[in-house]
Amino acid sequence: MNTISRRIRKKTQTRERILTEAIRIFSQRGIEQATVDEIAAAADVGKGTIYNYFETKEDIVVAFLLDLEHQLQEQVGRLITRRGSLESTLVSFLRLHFKLKEPHHAFVRVFLAQMFSRATASSAWIQQLQTVIDPPLQQLFSSLQERGLVRRDVALPDLVQIFKMIHLGLTATWAMEGPPWRETGRLLKEEIRLFCKGLEARKP
């Protein structure tokens, strides 16, 4: 049992080290320019070990982003149960997202450049990300509808898609501006305020 636990722990640590070093190298040199040999050397593993965990560099990127999304999901439950206004709930959600991304600001810039230049909505890795991004948003907006804070005449998939578009635009602004992100913070609050004006449940 202890042997199995040690083996699992070692595999987890190796995966995390590969991800950490890959993201650092991607942040400095770009995803296209970085090589698997560089990542292996930085992570102090063989090149074959990289391929035991990830088939491509894009798989490394997706795994890192999925890890961030899973961290976010752990916090979404608190937002759902918290009795705040619609506006404060959505602002808190986005601020939490940016707080998780803050240590990886340089990588987010690189990732967005890669995504806007090469990815399409049908790209396999973009679709894979959506399978993790969408459920917590669906859960969040569904709970807001149940609490009477969001109109029910707007389809849930549309709500999620529109909110993701807002989020993407704010993320691009956040990535370009850099710390301390004063303008992004101001735009975030104003954009969500205007969004919520059209989204609030109508009084009978």
Q: Which pLDDT value is given to residue 204? A: 57
Q: Which pLDDT value is given to residue 83? A: 82
Q: Which pLDDT value is given to residue 203? A: 62
- Rounded CA-CA distance 81/94 in Å is 17
Is it the case that residue 47 has pLDDT exceeding 90? yes
- pTM to 2 decimals? 0.88
Contact by Cβ (8 Å): 68, 100: yes
Q: Is residue 140 part of a domain?
A: yes
Query: How many domains, in total, are found in the chain?
Result: 2
How high is the mean pLDDT of the chain?
Answer: 91
Q: How confident is the model at residue 196 (pLDDT cuts 50, 70, 90)?
A: very high
* Alpha-carbon torsion, ordered 131, 136, 140, 141, to 10 deg: 0
Q: Which residue range forms the structural domain that includes residue 127?
A: 57-199
Is it the case that residue 22 has pLDDT exceeding 80? yes
pLDDT digits (tens, 9 = 90+) for 115-169: 898 888 888 888 888 998 998 899 999 999 998 999 999 999 999 999 999 999 9
Q: How confident is the model at residue 110 (pLDDT cuts 50, 70, 90)?
A: very high
Report the percent of the chain where pLDDT is more than 70. 98
More confident residue, 2 or 155: 155
Residues 120 and 79 in one domain: yes
Q: Is residue 204 part of a domain?
A: no
Helix (H, G, I), strand (E, B) or coil at 138: helix
Residue 130: give its domain's CATH number: 1.10.357.10
